[in-house]
Amino acid sequence: MEFYTLGEYATLDIDLIAPKREVIGQILERAGFQREGRHWYRTDVEIAVEIPSETLAGSHQRVESVNIEGYTVHIIGKEDLLVDR
């Protein structure tokens, strides 16, 4: 939501949808994140990450791909995000 509103709606964490949550958790920990419950935190950069599911709650056809500093990021479609809210 924060991406689509250009920061006008600030969220408290980044939600990732990924298979093998435990592998992603290990990667986050190697990157300096600490796990607390279902979230991984990195306080020095004020980022929290959650992996709420292994499957997308929406249509893969509406996923938007965005290039950010040379990386392709896939973001849930606006319509599906609004329905979720």
> Token pair for residue 70?
């040379």
Q: What H or E segment, with its residue span, contains residue 33?
A: none
Q: Are strands 34-36 and 39-42 parallel, antiparallel or unpaired?
A: antiparallel
Cross-strand pairs, 40? 35, 49
| Residue 84 pLDDT > 80 | no
The residue that leads in pLDDT, 40 or 81, is 40
- Give just the sign of the alpha carbon dihedral 68, 15, 47, 12: positive
Round to whole Å and give the CA distance between 13 and 71: 20
What percentage of the chain exceeds 70 in pLDDT?
98
Domain range list for the chain = 1-54, 57-85
Q: What is the average pLDDT score of the chain?
A: 88
Tell me if residue 28 falls in helix, strand or coil: helix
